Chains A and B, each alone.
Chain A
C-alpha cells in the first residue's frame, strides 16, 4: 500500500516536472521562432535598404555625372594615345652622378682648399633641380659640343 502511494506521488511529481519542462521547451521554441521571424524581417529590411543604397551609389557614380564634375572642378584633360606608354617600355632612371665631386677628384683636390670668399648665393632653382634629380650628367660637355657646332657652322647653318 505504502509502495503504491510513493509511486503515485513520484509519478505525479514526474508528471508535473515533465509538464513544466515541456512547457518551457515549447515556450522557448515559440520564442525562438519569433526571433527567427524577427531576424528574417530584419534581413529583408536590410536587403531592401542595401538595394536602395546600391542604386543610389550607382546613381552617384554614373559616368555622365562624373564627367560633368571633372570638367567643372579639375584642370585635367583626357589622355591621348601619344601620352600613354606601357610600364615595361619606360627607360630606367639613370644612376645619379655628382659632376662637381667628379671634377674635384679629377683635379686632385679631394682636400678642400681653404678659400676665403663670400658664400655662394643661394640658387633656389638649381637646388630644386638638384633635389629632383634632374641635373644631367655631363651637361657641360653637351654645352661645349653644341657651342663648337654653332661656332663651326652656326652662321652658315642656313646655307646647308
Chain B
C-alpha cells in the first residue's frame, strides 16, 4: 500500500504535466499530418511537381526524339533567411540573368517557399553552392530535352516547366497516363512511327522550296498507305520544342492537322473515285468540256481549257473542272455528301495529337456546292484528312486512320474500313500513274519509283473573294504506283512564280517537283529499290480496248 503523504500531490502534478506535454506534442504531430505547415507544404508541393518523369520518345528506328535529363532548380525560404537583401545581391551576381528588383521583392516577402530560378546549369549550381547563403537550397528536377531541335516539332508538341505535356504528342502521353507523376518506376520508351531521317529529308526539301518559291508557308507528310503510320510530318515554319514559347507564334501553327484548306484539284481524285465506285460513271465515259458551265451567276471554267470532249482519264490529267463537275452531278448531291462522309472529309479527324480542326462544311449543301466541292472549292479540310482519303483510294479501298504510333499491318487491317471496291482502287491507281507519266504530276516522277499524283491549285480567299494571284497549292503523290507503299502530301502557301517555272505558280511547278525531290530522297531511306523494269501503266483490262492511248 502506497504511503499517502505530502509528496503524493506533487507526483500527481508531475504526472499530469508530463501527460499534457506529451499530448501537446502528439496533437501537433497529428495536426501537422492532417494539415502541414504552409511553409513545409509549399516545399512538398514543389517537390511533387518536380517529380514528374516522362518516357523517352524514340523514332521508329530507336533514335531519341525526346528525353528527360536531370537538372537542378534553386529555391529560397525567405522566413529562414538572415539577410534577404544581401542574399538577393549575391544571387544576382552569381546568375546575371536574374531580375534583381524582382528577386529583392520575392525574398522580402513573408513566404515559406519561393523559386529563385528553375532548371539551372551545373556551373550556376556550383556558384550558388559556394555562396553558402542560409535559406537557399536546390531541388533536383527532370527537364525535357529534344536533342533534334526543330526537326521534329509540331508532332512532338512541348511540355511546361513542370514537365507536363501541353501540346502535341507530349500531351497525349499525359492523357493516356504514360508518364510517372511521382517519378517512381521505370518508364518504357515510346516508339513513334516517325522516321527521323525521313522527317529531316522532307523538312530540308520543304525549306529549300519555301526559299525557292518565296512562299509564306509549306508543309508535308509521308504516310504508309498500308498501316496509316505517319513517317514524316513537317509544317514549315516550325519551332524548336526546347523553346515552347515559339510554338505560340501564329505563323508557326501546325498546318497539317489544325489548318483547314480548300484542297483544290487534289479533291478531284475523290470525286472520280466516287463516280467510278458508284457505277454511274465508267472509265470510258466522255464528258463535254467544250464550253464553260454556267451555274446561276457562277461560271465554271477550266484553268487549262481543252475545249473538247474528254474521257474520264483525260478529265483527270487535264484537271478539267467542267468535266469533274459533270461527273459529280452524275452521282448527285446526296451520293456526293454520303461518299465524302464515308471518307471522313466532313468530320473532325482525331489522331494522337490533341490539335485537330473541324472541316468547314457548307450548311446548305446544294447542287452548286457539289459542283465546286467536286474540284476542291467550298469545303475546307485538313491536309492530313485528304491524304488519309487519298491513301484509301490507292491501297485497294481500305481507309485506315492515320497514327503517330507504330502500327502493324494486322492492327491496321482491324481498324480499316472499306470505302471503295478494289476494282475502283485499281482504276484510281491507273489514273494517278497516268498523271505522273503524262499529266501535271510529271515533275514528281522520279525514274524507277513509279510516282503517281494529283496536283491542286486553290485560289485563296482574300477579302471574301477568290484571289487570282494568291494561291494555296497541294500535291498528293503515291509511290510506287503498281504496289503503293507511301503517300506524300506537299503544300505551299502563296508560292510565287520564278524564272525557272516561267512565272507559273500552279502546283505542278512547285509542289510537284518538291514532292519529287522528297520521293527521291526518302525512298532509299524507306528501303524501296528503284525498279526500271516495272510493268507499264495500263488501264484495267476491260477498258483497255476502248481507251487506247489517251494521247
Could you tell me which A residues sit within 8 Å of B by CB distance?
Answer: 48, 51-52, 54-59, 61-64, 67, 78-82, 84-86
Q: How far is the CA of A49 from the CA of B279 in the complex (A)?
A: 64
Binds A, one of B61-69, B284-292, B454-462, B495-503: B61-69
State whether B200 touches A81 (Cβ < 8 A).
no
Tell me the smallest distance from the CB of A152 to a CB of chain B, in Å.
35
Tell me the smallest distance from the CB of A124 to a CB of chain B, in Å.
38
Given contacts A51-B69, A52-B69, A62-B147, contact A82 B63 (CB under 8 A): no
Given contacts A78-B521, A81-B449, A84-B524, contact A54 B151 (CB under 8 A): no
Chain B, residue nearest A60 (CB): B147
Q: How far is the CA of A65 from the CA of B228 in the complex (A)?
A: 29
Chain A, residue nearest B203 (CB): A64
Given contacts A59-B147, A61-B63, A84-B529, contact A67 B204 (CB under 8 A): yes
B523 at the interface (CB under 8 A from A): yes
Could you tell me which B residues sit within 8 Å of A by CB distance?
Answer: 63-64, 67-70, 145, 147-149, 151, 196-197, 200-201, 204, 446-449, 520-521, 523-524, 529-530
What residues on B are CB-neighbors of A78 within 8 Å?
Answer: 520-521
State whether B200 touches A67 (Cβ < 8 A).
yes
Q: How far is the CA of A44 from the CA of B448 in the complex (A)?
A: 52
The 8 closest A-B pairs by CB, nearest first: A58-B147, A63-B200, A58-B64, A59-B147, A81-B530, A81-B448, A62-B148, A48-B70
State whether B147 touches A86 (Cβ < 8 A).
no
What residues on B are CB-neighbors of A67 within 8 Å?
Answer: 200, 204
Q: How far is the CA of A57 from the CA of B446 in the complex (A)?
A: 34
Chain B, residue nearest A79 (CB): B524
Q: How far is the CA of A80 from the CA of B446 in the complex (A)?
A: 9
State whether A54 touches B520 (Cβ < 8 A).
no
Q: How far is the CA of A95 from the CA of B548 in the complex (A)?
A: 47
Among A55, A64, A82, the residue within 8 A (CB) of B448 is A82
State whether A54 touches B521 (Cβ < 8 A).
no
What residues on B are CB-neighbors of A51 within 8 Å?
Answer: 67-70
Q: How far is the CA of A147 from the CA of B254 in the complex (A)?
A: 67
What residues on B are CB-neighbors of A64 within 8 Å?
Answer: 149, 151, 200, 204
Q: How far is the CA of A80 from the CA of B448 in the complex (A)?
A: 10
What residues on A are CB-neighbors of B523 within 8 Å?
Answer: 81
Given contacts A51-B68, A55-B64, A64-B151, contact A80 B200 (CB under 8 A): no
Given contacts A48-B69, A63-B197, A63-B200, contact A58 B148 (CB under 8 A): yes
A54-B64, A62-B149, A84-B530 given; 16 more Cβ-contact pairs under 8 Å: A48-B70, A51-B69, A55-B145, A55-B147, A57-B64, A58-B63, A58-B148, A59-B147, A62-B151, A63-B151, A63-B200, A67-B204, A79-B524, A84-B524, A85-B530, A86-B529
Q: How far is the CA of A84 from the CA of B446 in the complex (A)?
A: 12
What residues on A are CB-neighbors of B68 within 8 Å?
Answer: 51
State whether B197 touches A81 (Cβ < 8 A).
no
Provide 27 A-B residue pairs closer than 8 Å at the C-beta atoms, listed in order of the A residue. Answer: A48-B69, A51-B69, A51-B70, A52-B69, A54-B67, A55-B67, A55-B69, A56-B147, A57-B64, A58-B63, A58-B64, A58-B147, A58-B148, A62-B148, A62-B149, A62-B151, A62-B200, A63-B196, A63-B201, A64-B200, A67-B204, A78-B520, A78-B521, A81-B520, A82-B447, A82-B530, A86-B529
What residues on A are CB-neighbors of B201 within 8 Å?
Answer: 63
Q: How far is the CA of A86 from the CA of B52 in the complex (A)?
A: 49
What residues on A are CB-neighbors of B521 within 8 Å?
Answer: 78
What residues on A are CB-neighbors of B446 within 8 Å?
Answer: 81
Chain A, residue nearest B533 (CB): A89
Chain A, residue nearest B198 (CB): A63
Chain A, residue nearest B521 (CB): A78
What residues on A are CB-neighbors of B200 within 8 Å?
Answer: 62-64, 67
Tell me the smallest distance from the CB of A69 to a CB of chain B, in Å.
13
Tell me the smallest distance from the CB of A138 to a CB of chain B, in Å.
29
Tell me the smallest distance from the CB of B357 to a CB of chain A, in Å.
29
Tell me the smallest distance from the CB of B119 to a CB of chain A, in Å.
14
What residues on B are CB-neighbors of A82 within 8 Å?
Answer: 447-448, 530
What residues on B are CB-neighbors of A57 within 8 Å?
Answer: 64
Q: How far is the CA of A56 from the CA of B449 in the complex (A)?
A: 36
Chain B, residue nearest A82 (CB): B447
Chain B, residue nearest A80 (CB): B520
Q: How far is the CA of A58 from the CA of B524 in the complex (A)?
A: 22
What residues on A are CB-neighbors of B148 within 8 Å?
Answer: 58-59, 62-63
Residue from B147, B151, B449 whose CB has the most chain A CB atoms within 10 Å: B147
Q: How far is the CA of A56 from the CA of B146 in the complex (A)?
A: 10
Tell me the smallest distance from the CB of B70 to a CB of chain A, in Å.
5
Tell me the smallest distance from the CB of B211 to a CB of chain A, in Å.
15
What residues on A are CB-neighbors of B530 within 8 Å?
Answer: 81-82, 84-85
What residues on A are CB-neighbors of B196 within 8 Å?
Answer: 62-63
Chain A, residue nearest B186 (CB): A47
Tell me the smallest distance from the CB of B144 to a CB of chain A, in Å.
10
Chain A, residue nearest B58 (CB): A58
Tell me the smallest distance from the CB of A52 to a CB of chain B, in Å.
5
Q: How far is the CA of A125 from the CA of B294 in the complex (A)?
A: 76
Tell me the smallest distance from the CB of A26 to a CB of chain B, in Å.
29
Given contacts A55-B69, A64-B200, A78-B521, contact A84 B448 (CB under 8 A): yes
Tell me the smallest distance from the CB of A88 to a CB of chain B, in Å.
10
What residues on B are CB-neighbors of A86 within 8 Å?
Answer: 529
Q: How far is the CA of A78 from the CA of B530 in the complex (A)?
A: 15
What residues on B are CB-neighbors of A56 within 8 Å?
Answer: 147
State whether B64 touches A81 (Cβ < 8 A).
no
Residue from B68, B69, B201, B447 whose CB has the most chain A CB atoms within 10 Å: B69
Tell me the smallest distance from the CB of A156 to a CB of chain B, in Å.
36
Q: How far is the CA of A48 from the CA of B69 in the complex (A)?
A: 7
Q: How far is the CA of A57 from the CA of B148 in the complex (A)?
A: 10
Q: How far is the CA of A22 from the CA of B530 in the complex (A)?
A: 76
Tell me the smallest distance from the CB of B198 to a CB of chain A, in Å.
9
Tell me the smallest distance from the CB of B62 to a CB of chain A, in Å.
10
Q: How far is the CA of A48 from the CA of B448 in the complex (A)?
A: 47
Q: How far is the CA of A51 from the CA of B147 in the complex (A)?
A: 11
Chain A, residue nearest B448 (CB): A81
Q: How far is the CA of A84 from the CA of B521 in the complex (A)?
A: 12
What residues on B are CB-neighbors of A52 within 8 Å?
Answer: 69-70
